[in-house]
Structure 1
Amino acid sequence: MGKILRMMGGVALLLSTTLACSNGTDLHPGPLSTQLEQKTDILVPASGALLGHYYGTGTIEGTDARIGRKPAIQLTYYAWSDDWVPQTRAQLADGRIPMVNWEPFDVEFDNIISGKHDKTIEARADGAKALGSKFFLDFAAEMNEGEGWGGHVPSKYIAAYRHIHDIFVSRGATNVVWAWCPNNTDSASAPTAMDYYPGDEYVDWTGVDGYNWGTSDDDFRWQSFREVFADIYADLAEKGKPIIIGEMASDEVGGDKAQWITEIVPTLKNVFPLVKAVVWFDVDKERHWQINSSPSSLTAYTAMATDPYFSG
């Protein structure tokens, strides 16, 4: 989450002409968008997009009061051995869609593939099934960047992902909605994000994590919301699945963060119509990612969060 990326060179803004024209207007807003809007069985909203939040700054109640609404999705991080069922159940009871980010730190993927960790996986699957409601599961996110899950070996990552998925399905945990979220940029000299794609039958939502790192480091440049996600959106859109931005935020240094936030909804509507959910990483970590890093940013975020486009 929030890894420091070396943003060398420019980011291409031109998407495939089958997705958007040069002025950012979607050329095909109809059939595919309509098709996705009907997939309520995998949590796709009837219209617009879902707003999500990682509560890293302040209390949940205080944050919701600050922005004037309860976000639809709540992101939480868990280690490999954590039992995330109790907290997920509480989030469901509170009327939220949990997004479980399951991080396999210090776990050899060969041992996942061989079955050595099957008891842990089976326990999580049984717990998920017992919840009885849909929720997002994002296993080993940002595999193409600094985490390097599986040692940056796509075949190993895919095999482990599929092994976990198959155990969940075999034990009846079909209420899990599988989100696959690489980083918006790849590690230098490592495979590209799409090399890690587990396969259409294993992924319900494709996704991406991405940040505007600002200019507090000489190797970084200010990027608009559109610039952060333009390149990988074109790749993800080819899969024809709903897209979730599993983590996003902007720094304050180097540009206008309030304007960055203000541009999110128009960009989703006109340039990224397949993005059906976005999750803000609200914490002061590597940068000032929090929504209230300045009064103007908080004002812009509140206006964005209460926009009818995020009606879910």
Structure 2
Amino acid sequence: MKRIHAAMAIAVAVTLTACTTIDQRPVAATPSSQSSLAPAHGALLGHYYGSGTIAETDARIGRKPAIHLTYYNWKDDWVTSDATRSDLADGRIPLINWEPFGVDFDDITAGKLDDTIKARADGVKTLKAKVMLDFAAEMNEEEGWGDHSPARYIAAYRHIHDLFTARGVTNVEWAWCPNNTDSDGAPTAMAYYPGDAYVDWTGIDGYNWGTSDPDFEWQTFEEVFAGLYDDLAKVGKPVIIGESASDETGGDKAAWIAGIVPTLQQRFPLIKAFVWFDIAKERQWQLTSSPAALQAYQNLAANPYFAP
């Protein structure tokens, strides 16, 4: 739900015969891919830097997060971007959120956009380091990637993945991150699952929206993620919280942050990465929304659970 670029509905018409529900998701023709980035114990901490430079923010929170979330439009060359190159030089894992803004999924699946896909595949191969790639996140939400069609979404996702594989790319870990809630009229998140052979990390984007809008209520960290997490646990992949934050209005944001590590330990052991969306956008997601919130996050960042 937190796009940096505007979203638009994508008119597509691809037929895919694979069944796409959680109980009947496509059977992988090859063994499930395995993440080499997911820690055996604890979780990786990640950050979207929207409220200050990397240096300023890292000094503010008291550490360098392991993952840096960035956003790119379809034609953006995220391989050669300053952010990707700087991240790798500084020992961070780039989490590339690749958004198909204005792209017809039919064109992806039909091969009409293969030149762009091949260029990114060939480019990322030269990096000689792992990156995480999250294509068309929150496909079950209002973004409209795939026109609320799981078949079209899956066909496009698989086509991109298969081209990367055919070109010998081995340093991309594929993240698949639906929203924690489905838009009205949209299929459920798990209907969009591309299949075990196509995903290294399952994921969830989710926020505590607070109570500044009468249609929302305060949710704990567990309440934000529990429903979809239980579905992802059946898949058995490592889970990434690709975007998350809490508002201040309606509860105690500092307490919300303080509850993250205990909840990961006790309720969500498959969550192996957590990314904070640090910006004042629809709500006061930024860590500096209050001194108490910042202190709570400093404590979280220093917790050994986030130093696997």
Q: TM-score, normalised by structure 2?
A: 0.88
Of 56, 71, 75 in structure 2, the residue corresponding to residue 77 of structure 1 is: 71
| 1:115 equivalenced with 2:95 (yes/no) | no
CA offset digits 1:155-197 (Å, max 9, x no partner): 0000000000000011111110000000000011110000000
| 1:255 equivalenced with 2:254 (yes/no) | no
CA–CA separation in structure 2 for the residues paired with 1:55 and 1:276: 20
CA–CA separation in structure 1 for the residues paired with 2:103 and 2:36: 29
Aligned to 1:169: 165
| 1:233 equivalenced with 2:229 (yes/no) | yes
- 1:57-136 alignment, distance < 5 Å: 57-86=51-80, 87-136=83-132
CA–CA separation in structure 1 for the residues paired with 2:206 and 2:121: 29
Question: Does structure 2 retain, via aligned residues, the 8 Å contact 1:183–1:210?
Answer: yes
Aligned to 1:190: 186
CA–CA separation in structure 1 for the residues paired with 2:171 and 2:164: 10
Aligned AA for 1:73? I
Of 196, 199, 215 in structure 1, the residue corresponding to residue 211 of structure 2 is: 215
Equivalent residues, number:
277
Aligned to 2:7: none
SS of the residue aligned with 1:156?
helix
| 1:50 equivalenced with 2:31 (yes/no) | no
> Cα RMSD over matched residues?
1.1
CA–CA separation in structure 1 for the residues paired with 2:34 and 2:280: 34
CA–CA separation in structure 2 for the residues paired with 1:144 and 1:295: 35
Q: CA deviation at 1:42?
A: 2.7
Aligned to 1:278: 274
Question: Does structure 1 retain, via aligned residues, the 8 Å contact 2:47–2:69?
Answer: yes
CA–CA separation in structure 2 for the residues paired with 1:174 and 1:114: 24
Deviates more, 1:257-266 or 1:78-87: 78-87
Of 135, 144, 148 in structure 2, the residue corresponding to residue 148 of structure 1 is: 144
CA offset digits 1:190-221 (Å, max 9, x no partner): 10000000000000010010000000000000
CA–CA separation in structure 1 for the residues paired with 2:134 and 2:37: 14
Segments of 5+ residues of structure 2 without an aligned counterpart are 4-32
CA offset digits 1:122-157 (Å, max 9, x no partner): 000011111111110000000000111010100000
Of 242, 246, 253 in structure 2, the residue corresponding to residue 246 of structure 1 is: 242
CA–CA separation in structure 2 for the residues paired with 1:238 and 1:93: 36
Question: Does structure 2 retain, via aligned residues, the 8 Å contact 1:214–1:255?
Answer: yes
Structure 1 residues 258 and 272 mapped into 2: Cα distance closer, same or farther (>3 Å)? same
Question: Does structure 1 retain, via aligned residues, the 8 Å contact 2:34–2:200?
Answer: no
Question: Does structure 2 retain, via aligned residues, the 8 Å contact 1:213–1:251?
Answer: yes
Structure 1 residues 40 and 104 mapped into 2: Cα distance closer, same or farther (>3 Å)? closer
CA–CA separation in structure 2 for the residues paired with 1:123 and 1:270: 43
Aligned to 1:269: 265
- 1:20-59 alignment, distance < 5 Å: 41-59=35-53
Q: CA deviation at 1:95?
A: 0.8
Structure 1 residues 40 and 114 mapped into 2: Cα distance closer, same or farther (>3 Å)? closer
Q: CA deviation at 1:2?
A: 2.5
CA–CA separation in structure 2 for the residues paired with 1:47 and 1:303: 19
CA offset digits 1:19-46 (Å, max 9, x no partner): xxxxxxxxxxxxxxxxxxxx98530113
Aligned to 1:293: 289
Aligned AA for 2:155? A
Question: Does structure 2 retain, via aligned residues, the 8 Å contact 1:40–1:46?
Answer: no
Segments of 5+ residues of structure 1 without an aligned counterpart are 4-38
Aligned structure 1 segments of 4 or more residues deviating by more than 2 angstroms? 39-42
SS of the residue aligned with 1:292?
helix
